[in-house]
Chain A
Amino acid sequence: MPPAVHNKKHMRIPLYALLLCSVPFMVHAQSETDSVHHSYTLSTVNYTILGQRYQKNYTRSRELQQSTDRLLERIPGVTMIRRGNFAMEPTLRGLSAAQINMTIDGMQLFGACTDRMDPISSYVEPNNMERIQLGFSPNGEQHNASVGGGLNFSLKQAQTGVAKVWSGLVGAGYETNATATQTIAALQYSRSRFAISANGVWRRAGNYTAGKGQEIAFSQYNKWNLGLSAVYLLKPNQQLRVDYLQDEGYNIGYPALTMDVSFAKAKIGSASYIYTPTGMKLKSWESKVYYNYIDHAMDDTKRPAWQVPIHMDMPGTSQTMGLYSRAKWYYTNHFLEAQFTAYSNRLHAEMTMYPKNAAEMFMLTLPDVQRTVYGIDLKDKIYLGQDWTLSPSLTVNYVQSDIYTELGKETLSSLFTGSLDRKNLVWNAGLNAEKQINGRWMLFGQLSRGARSASAQELYAFYLFNRMDNFDYIGNKDLKQETSVNASLGMSYHQHRLHIQPQLFVYRFSNYIVGQRKQGYSTMTIGASGVKQYVNIPDALLYGGELYATYRPWDKWYIQSTNSISIGLDNAGNALPLIPPFKSINRIEYTPSKYGFYAESISQSRQDRISTVVYGERASIGFTIFNVGAGRNFTIGKNTLNVHAAVYNILDKQYYEHLDILKLYRPGRNVALNLSLTF
């Protein structure tokens, strides 16, 4: 049993098993509101193949064939930016990119693509994961300074001392739309002191068809992913752990962008030492070193000539090396956590253009930026009597940015004079409070101050094209930190058939970073409307809410509703871009014995809170789509076979979400069939 992470949950914490969507029957992707109450844990993903928890394997195994994107977009407050049928980019309540902090198992990773084609979530598969941790406040589950919380994808680890020495699963799925196939497998070998596990996914898809039979060209993808985990117990309470993740995508189309991807590869490795003493105040001490390398190459060779005025190559790399050491103590009524973290990231992105009758042209688009961060996090959770829980927290980061090659410095002499180095001291502080009013009612709220230093792109971008507003972007090395004061208040009503949890939030930003038109600069990208530079605007406001409710009218029947809305305004009252409008996912499930049936609707309202002139965004019409699914479990000896069929978008509606770049239609009707066998 992995230490503290789980111990925490078994403590005297008000614990709510919110039933959260996505799985057709019985065991739902279970989201426990963690102590901070806005940190959701998907326990479907939490579940290990060995069934050490009370969950059904088939549920799990079917879920594993989904993409991470599909899991994420069902979590309230999460909306995905879509550029194709692959690697969607998560936003949290309308905050994205550098405003949120995405990690894999606590490791920092940064996408290598300058066009945001490879968010970190694209390099991790449900099959790799134990759970997804999500925080909306700067000091949620994240251990890094940010203005809007973040996402952590906790990796599944090999388990020692399991009764079955060998265990595993195989699965395959087929979808009629895009003739997509998924093949997954996982295998574990477990002894008392040693365990090793491997899991793999192979996915491929052709062009998908949007509603009404419209084929979306350049929407294909191919990828494989391999996760390895080995654990060795030095002593019963001391373990060494090595994890390795490799994810490689090939020939991936991005129909909303001007280029596709010839490959997107990530190699992610770490080694950890975990000490979990018993009978001490110290509950756990985990130290990890890690390294990851991301290699990305964009490609325009498959596009028709009229789309490619000049053929170009645009490769990029990102490498990060880091460590953290994190300890947790539990004494009397305190649960204390302290962490030291350090990492360094290097980004390189370049572009070579090949005009027909002239010399080739070369430039750096992200001029060899290096960023080194040292951080300390302190967090306490104080239990005051039976009713109150208070969690103060503090994060301090020292962020150093500079340019590590002469060519990078020369390139930036085009834009800037003086030193390119940046040093920022960034701090977050917050307080969460929970008040149990009685057995059914609970109030929770938090107030925090968040800050982030400008990202490598915001500081040093060298003519990065943004397809959304059709502008080339240049960096601004003099950007100030973006800060936020953020408050949320929610309540929870819980009885055995009904659970309702509304929540309101507000973020007040200072020195909010946006792109602002820069006059007198000529565009680099042929056809671009102009050049924008990142600037701090004095302030911005983001507010909204989420409502989550479940109801069991009768046994075997289950109804769930997930709703969210965000509204963002800049200092001049202009609507901020990429803010999701009201979205509602409603679902009904019926689960007689070995069968499961569900039907759901997904709706998004229209979004006309936009500022076309300032941020280049267009209005969106709303939509509603319907999905249905059914599944059955067969027991074959000691193994379980699960068969699941679903029809997505049964009315074959042409629709897009507001955050979809170019408002490209999403897939039309899609019939999916999944088989999986656990052993």
Chain B
Amino acid sequence: MRKIFALVCVAIALCTYTSCKSKNNDPKPGIETPAKSQLGTASTTDYIITLYADTPLLFTGYNRLYVKVQDATGAVSSTANVSIHPLMEMSTMSHSTPYEQVSYDAATGLYSGAAVFIMPTADDDAWKMEVTVNGQKVAIPVTVGTFPTKVISISMGSDNTTYIVSLLRPATWKVGMNDVEFTVHKITDMMNFPALDNLTIEMTPEMPSMGHGSPNNISPVSTGKGHYKGKVNYTMTGDWRLHLKVSDASGTVLLQDAFIDILF
């Protein structure tokens, strides 16, 4: 009987060992919304306006922006007419950058939008975000740093138009299949950067240090408002380059290789 008991004990131990596969289940990073960082605040006669982003520092490329509007008593307003406008003032001229106008998001109580900064803040060249609430305008200075890898591609297309392709950086990348999203804008003039839909993007990832790619990628497709969504496959960590070949609806290749660099 003792033997049987011993055997059963071992069997239980073995089963326990084999079923403890949840041991390495770290919490999935990047699923919960990260806390927002305040970039600056300003007041008008009737409102306190605060600007937030996902990270304390803005970077070249696509950045989500959030505006909180409070009245003088501190109550959060959800019905105000809010708009943003990014602007860089250089010594001789000023220009804007592609952006997505804010709209109220009930879930967070913030007006959310985005800006695709095409250049970083430099000595004399400063970015500011103009925010207008019910006709009352403030300007909140913001600093834009250069992202360590090339997450935005600004290049001349075959039709002599300048196109801006920008990556929506996820909170984290993981090995294997990842959702990937880009925006495409073009430069009409210093103040106008319309979003472009219905282009065809052919995405080819590559590891430049080894020269290999990865299988099963899904090239991003147009989802409206200049956004394109697809799936990218990272077979290992390290440096990856996403080659993007962009064509218009008629099949004309606009950009041969607007590449984006990734490191994780």
Contact = CB atoms under 8 A, between A and B. Distances in A.
- Say if A and B assemble together: yes
A321 B238 contact: no
A415 B234 CA distance: 10
Interface stretch (A357-365, A425-433, A443-451, A578-586): A357-365
A410 B209 contact: no
A363 B175 contact: yes
20 contacts: A273-B6, A287-B6, A287-B7, A321-B14, A321-B17, A323-B7, A355-B209, A358-B239, A359-B238, A361-B210, A363-B237, A364-B175, A368-B24, A404-B24, A407-B24, A409-B176, A414-B175, A414-B233, A521-B215, A522-B214
A355 B10 contact: no
Given A323-B10, A402-B21, A411-B176, 13 more contacts: A321-B14, A351-B236, A372-B18, A404-B24, A406-B25, A406-B26, A407-B24, A410-B175, A410-B177, A411-B235, A413-B233, A415-B216, A462-B235
B208 A289 contact: no
Given A342-B14, A359-B239, A414-B233, A405 B24 contact: yes
Contacts of A372: 18
Given A289-B10, A402-B21, A520 B3 contact: no
Contacts of B236: 351, 353, 361-363, 524
A322 B14 contact: yes
B95 interface: no
Interface in B6-38: 6-7, 10-11, 14, 17-18, 21, 23-26, 28
Interface in B69-86: none
What's the dominant secondary structure at chain B's contact region?
mixed
B84 to A, nearest CB: 35
B73 to A, nearest CB: 47
Given A273-B3, A323-B10, A406-B26, A524 B210 contact: yes
A414 B211 contact: no
Given A344-B18, A372-B18, A355 B235 contact: no
A86 interface: no
A370 B11 contact: no
A463 interface: yes
Nearest to B214: A414
B14 A411 contact: no
Interface of A: 273, 275, 287, 289, 310, 321-323, 325, 342-344, 351, 353, 355, 358-364, 368, 370, 372, 402, 404-407, 409-415, 462-463, 520-524, 526
Contacts of A358: 208-209, 238-239
A361 B237 contact: yes
Interface of B: 3, 6-7, 10-11, 14, 17-18, 21, 23-26, 28, 174-177, 207-216, 233-239, 263
Contacts of B23: 404
Contacts of A524: 210, 212, 235-236
Which 10 A-B pairs give the minimum distances between C-beta atoms? A361-B238, A363-B236, A413-B176, A355-B209, A410-B176, A522-B213, A413-B177, A405-B24, A358-B209, A344-B18
B215 A415 contact: yes
A361 B18 contact: no
Q: Among B25, B208, B216, B235, which residue has the most Cβ atoms of chain A within 10 A? A: B235
B236 to A, nearest CB: 3
B176 A361 contact: no
Contacts of B21: 370, 402, 404
Contacts, number: 108
A526 B239 CA distance: 16
Nearest to A526: B210
A523 B212 contact: yes
A526 B208 CA distance: 12
Contact of B17 (A325, A344, A520): A344
Contacts of B177: 410, 413-414
Contacts of B7: 287, 323, 325
Contacts of A351: 236
B177 to A, nearest CB: 4
A605 B5 CA distance: 57
A523 B23 CA distance: 33
Contacts of B263: 359
A509 to B, nearest CB: 29
A463 B235 CA distance: 9
Nearest to A325: B7
A370 B21 CA distance: 9
A274 to B, nearest CB: 11
Contact of A362 (B208, B214, B215, B237): B237
Nearest to A351: B236
A360 B263 CA distance: 10
Contacts of B11: 323, 342
A289 B3 CA distance: 12
A360 B238 CA distance: 6
A360 B176 CA distance: 17
Contact of A310 (B210, B216, B234, B239): B210
Contacts of B176: 409-414
A323 B14 contact: yes
B8 to A, nearest CB: 11
Q: Among B6, B17, B212, B216, which residue has the most Cβ atoms of chain A within 10 A? A: B212
Nearest to A357: B209
A411 B175 contact: yes
Contacts of B212: 522-524
